[in-house]
Amino acid sequence: MKKIFAALLALVASVAFGATLSPITLLNPSGSTAGQAIVSNGTSSAPAWGAVSSIAGGAVINGVAGSYRTLGFATSGSLRWIVGENADTESGGNAGSNFYLQSATDAGAPSTVEMQFQRNSSVLLIGLTSRVTLGDLQYANIQDAGAGSFAGGVPAFMQYSNDTSSSGIFIYKSRSATKGVSAVVQNGDDIGEVDFEPDGGSGPVKAAFINSVVDSATISTTSVPARLVFWTMPVGGAFPLERARITNSGRILVNTTTDDGTDYLQVNGSVLTAGLTTSNGLSVTGGSINGVPGRLLNVQVFSSSGTYTPTSGATSIIVRVQAPGGGSGGAASTTASQVAVSGGGNGGSYAEVRYTSVSTQTVTIGAVGAAGAAGANAGGTGGTTSFGSLVSCPGGNGGGGGAAVSAAGVSGSAPTPNLACTISGGTTIDAVTGGRGQGGYALTGTTGFLGAGGNSAMGVGYVSAGGAQTGYGLGSGAGAQINGISAGNVAGAAGAAGEIIVYEYQ
């Protein structure tokens, strides 16, 4: 009886042992019935899963505590890739963990270069085992580290398409505190920046950066004006300084943050261009170059009285004051044995002065010397012409009237010489009295010599040939008048006009 009972026990044990080693029912990877168990009652080969389109429901792979090799990928028996977590020791039923993606070495060991998603922070690490928290790096949600020349840490954005599209980096700024909800930005908001931070010995130092800033309060749903700003760290500095900016209007400012609102290139400091060094700024407007000391900035011409107002940016001026010329005398009536010849007028006096400070000035342009009235009457004197109280120049004196004479000799006297200009301050470049007009002479009782008008610094007196006439240019004296035999009274001619010219320099 004992032998029969022992045989039965052996038979039961054999069947049970075979059932545990030889599975005959395997889980269907496409989905299994809830509560389905794996049983074995015979030998079986390893399952071959292929072309699995989906697994209904969720799948949990429970790794061994203390191991990050939760799921591995192998070919020909060699480990290639590992997906897992770092098996941090946590308490509670829902312990968090970092997620790792690693490649394997040829020996099958995990590579030290990995990709890691850190728990509860949305931080992605590439080539790092822990987050770098030095300086501004602590704020980076993506940290990519490499070593050597272009061995890593150099992202590349590529676009392959037979069209005009391109790859790029997009930096977005919103005033909204809720992701996905729009809220308009405000003038002065920092849209984004690109930093360059070398290690100064104890971590990264913000040495240079480029940022974009909202550049106007005029904002719409389709237009947000912005400027681009460039910053660099000076020697011994604590923070980068703004070096240049491009405004929303396209103006470029170098070493200044003050926009004059006009020039498209504004420089604070010296500029070297093609061997020419300029100082205290360089700006360009419509092709001209501003900011060059001594540069001719503007010219103001006054042919009538008015007010001089300095042009913006002018620091020095050269003033040219030309007084008007004197008139020639008239000639008396004659008999059959007489001749009458008047004198020509003087040219107006002239001065040219430089001033290194500028201010508003009253401009007075004197009247021209009037023509001598018909008969033996002298010509008029030109009016005084002045630039404020700085420069005052007298006009040319008028020529004498021509008396009727019957013998050779003086008929009309030459005018008296002019007075010189009065100059206050400044540097006198030139100052001359007007040229003197010539007197009228009878050569015989019936012929005469007509005197010329006096020259000026800016004109030439008229040389009479058959009668009086105003001179050429500015400030010149009128030519003399002549009356032949048996002629009535005739008038002389007026002098040439005066003028003031102001050259303005930067």
pLDDT of 74 over the 70 cut: no
pLDDT of residue 128: 76
pLDDT of residue 349: 98
Q: Closest by alpha carbon to 498, among 386, 399, 365?
A: 365
- Number of structural domains, the chain? 3
Answer yes or no: is 395 within a domain.
yes
Whether 429 and 491 map to the same domain: the answer is yes
Whether 282 and 330 map to the same domain: the answer is no
Six-digit token string for 209: 């950066």
For the ranges 88-102, 250-264, 315-329, 450-464, the lowest mean pLDDT is seen at 88-102
Answer yes or no: is 176 within a domain.
no
Q: Which domain holds residue 399?
A: 294-506
In this prediction, residues 486-506 reach a mean pLDDT of: 96
Give the pLDDT confidence of 238-254 residue by residue, as tens digits.
Answer: 999 999 999 999 999 99
Whether 284 and 299 map to the same domain: the answer is no
139: burial class by Cβ within 10 Å (0-12, 13-18, 19+)?
A: exposed
pLDDT of 442 over the 60 cut: yes
Answer yes or no: is 180 within a domain.
no
Reported as a pLDDT band with limits 50, 70 and 90, residue 451 is confident
pLDDT of 416 over the 90 cut: yes
End-to-end Cα spacing for the chain = 131
Whether 475 and 386 map to the same domain: the answer is yes
pLDDT of 27 over the 60 cut: no
pLDDT of residue 11: 46
Top pLDDT among 223 and 6 is at 223
Spatial distance between the Cα atoms of 90 and 119, rounded to a whole number of angstroms: 12
Whether 477 and 343 map to the same domain: the answer is yes
pLDDT of 58 over the 80 cut: no
Reported as a pLDDT band with limits 50, 70 and 90, residue 350 is very high
Reported as a pLDDT band with limits 50, 70 and 90, residue 273 is low
Classify strands 99-104 and 110-118 as parallel, antiparallel or unpaired. antiparallel
Q: Residue 273 CA to chain centroid, in angstroms?
A: 17
pLDDT of residue 21: 45
For the ranges 33-47, 391-405, 477-491, the lowest mean pLDDT is seen at 33-47
Spatial distance between the Cα atoms of 34 and 16, rounded to a whole number of angstroms: 25
Reported as a pLDDT band with limits 50, 70 and 90, residue 123 is confident
In this prediction, residues 357-378 reach a mean pLDDT of: 97
Answer yes or no: is 152 within a domain.
no
Whether 458 and 483 map to the same domain: the answer is yes
Name the pTM for this structure.
Answer: 0.52
pLDDT of residue 131: 76
Answer yes or no: is 183 within a domain.
no
Whether 277 and 313 map to the same domain: the answer is no
Boundary-marking domain end, from 263, 290, 317: 290
Whether 259 and 403 map to the same domain: the answer is no
Contacts of 372 (CB under 8 A, 6+ apart): 327, 328, 329, 330, 342, 378, 379, 380, 398, 399, 401, 481, 491, 492
Q: Closest by alpha carbon to 191, among 168, 216, 167?
A: 216
In this prediction, residues 42-66 reach a mean pLDDT of: 56
Sheet containing strand 448-449, strands side by side: 409-412, 440-442, 448-449
pLDDT of 434 over the 80 cut: yes
In this prediction, residues 167-195 reach a mean pLDDT of: 90
Whether 224 and 202 map to the same domain: the answer is yes
pLDDT of residue 132: 79
Phi-psi region of 148 (alpha: psi -120 to 50; beta: other; left: phi over 0): left
Q: How does the average pLDDT of the chain come out, rounded?
A: 81
In this prediction, residues 189-194 reach a mean pLDDT of: 94
pLDDT of residue 357: 95
Angle at 478 between CA 476 and CA 483, to 5 degrees: 165
Answer yes or no: is 61 within a domain.
no
Whether 382 and 466 map to the same domain: the answer is yes
Whether 259 and 313 map to the same domain: the answer is no
pLDDT of residue 93: 35
Answer yes or no: is 9 within a domain.
no
Whether 244 and 116 map to the same domain: the answer is no
Answer yes or no: is 34 within a domain.
no
Number of Cα atoms under 13 Å in the Cβ half of residue 374: 6
